[in-house]
Amino acid sequence: MGGVYRALKLGEGGRCYLYNIVKRICLMVAYTEHPETASYTWEYRGGCYQGGSIAVYERAYPGEEYHFDSIPIEIREDESLYNSISNVEAEIDSKVSPIFSYLSYFCLFMSFISAILFAVFFYK
């Protein structure tokens, strides 16, 4: 299995330990402004990987040497706030858009009526 077995001091049996090493790290942060103090913060929101994990691990095998001097670290901005704002905007647009559409048709219709009335009274 590739683990390390350690026998118990008393009695029979023991434990088998398996090790994982970190291959890469990714953190999700969110930008938050604080107008009352004229400051801002970056708040930790979790990991970027499946299940909110902050790291990707790989099996380690006894006897092999691993170096941790070049682990890639990513920091990503959490855009769920922007997505929720755009969803609200889309919902408002879907409700308000028909109103402006009917209003524009009404204004076009009234401009035609006004043009006809102006022509009739002007040439009289």
Give me the pLDDT at residue 101, please. Answer: 75
Asked if residue 121 and residue 83 are part of one domain, the reply reads yes
Q: What is the DSSP string of 18-68?
A: -EEEEEEEEEEEEEEEETTTTEEEEEEEEESSGGG-SEEEEEE-TT-----
Kindly state whether residues 6 and 65 are assigned to the same domain. yes
47, 91: one domain: no
Q: 97 and 44, same structural domain? A: no
73 and 103 both lie in a single domain: no
The domain in which residue 30 lies consists of 1-78
Residues 68 and 87 in one domain: no
Residue count of the chain, please give it: 124
Would you place residue 27 in the very low, low, confident or very high pLDDT band (cuts 50, 70, 90)?
very high
What percent of the chain clears pLDDT 90, i.e. is strictly above it? 14
Assessment of whether the complete model's pTM goes beyond 0.75: no
The pLDDT of residue 56 is: 92
Query: Are residues 109 and 71 part of one domain?
Result: no
* 102 in the same domain as 59: no
Residues 30-42, mean pLDDT to the nearest whole number: 86
Number of domains within the chain? 2
The answer to whether residues 88 and 60 belong to one domain is: no
